[in-house]
Copies of this chain bind each other. A is one copy, B any other.
């Protein structure tokens, strides 16, 4: 796990379970620098361990601080996550924008932190004033209640996506190569020969457009070599016992 990613700083977290699920969400997103400011139920915490489902064993030790200032000392840019309007003159950014910006700041030598407040009240304004920007996750304005781990997950998710290279869309062919046009055309010929033989294409006027429609349907399915073989077999078996049309 590469270090150097943003720090997640939980200020005055209350329930141990929430620290554990937040750690799990962090690790899901490749984040491992967890800092706690004044955790209500102390540290270490058995309930946090249990809720983390093994996440803490894959991260450096959690660091605990008395004051928010202390937890931010080595950082150069800090985002305060908040759902409420803070009446402060500060940039407000989305999670997606913050993730891309954080990547750039880190590339330029910066060290980034994301501040999260306590379960109920969120961050106090004096902590928000320590941050460089406010991070607000755009969500349904009629129902914004997010738990702590979910807020960490969404911020972490955007961080991971900002560095991820997964192709947005790909066809899994399960090891079988896609059929070549030649293989596809051979299947078309086999299929249409049998449709002629059974009389399905007997209307000579309609035949060209029916053939085109069927070819379009097969083309849209992006068949693999294996699937083309299966379809040859299907057509063959369907026609084996057929009595010739009179």
Question: Which A residues fall within an 8 A CB radius of B?
Answer: 1, 24-25, 27-30, 53, 55, 58, 85-94, 96-97, 101, 134, 136-140, 142-146, 149-150, 153-154, 157, 160-161, 164, 166-174, 176, 224, 227
Contact = CB atoms under 8 A, between A and B. Distances in A.
Contact of A143 (B27, B88, B96, B227): B27
Contacts of A91: 169-172
Contacts of A134: 172
* Residue of A24, A171, A172, A224 with most partner-chain B CB within 10 A: A172
* Residue of A27, A101, A138, A154 with most partner-chain B CB within 10 A: A138
A162 B177 CA distance: 33
Nearest to A150: B153
B89 A174 contact: yes
A58 B143 contact: yes
Contacts of A94: 166-169
Given A25-B150, A153-B150, A174-B87, A92 B169 contact: yes
Contacts of A25: 150
- Report, nearest first, the 6 A-B pairs whose CB atoms are least far apart: A97-B168, A138-B166, A30-B140, A27-B143, A138-B164, A93-B169
Contacts of A89: 171-174, 176, 224, 227
A101 B136 CA distance: 25
Contact of A140 (B97, B139, B160, B173): B160
Contacts of A93: 168-170
Given A91-B171, A160-B138, A172-B134, A24 B85 contact: no
Given A25-B150, A87-B174, 9 more contacts: A1-B140, A85-B172, A88-B172, A90-B171, A91-B171, A92-B170, A136-B166, A149-B150, A154-B157
B24 A145 contact: yes
A157 B29 CA distance: 15
A133 B45 CA distance: 42
Contacts of A149: 150
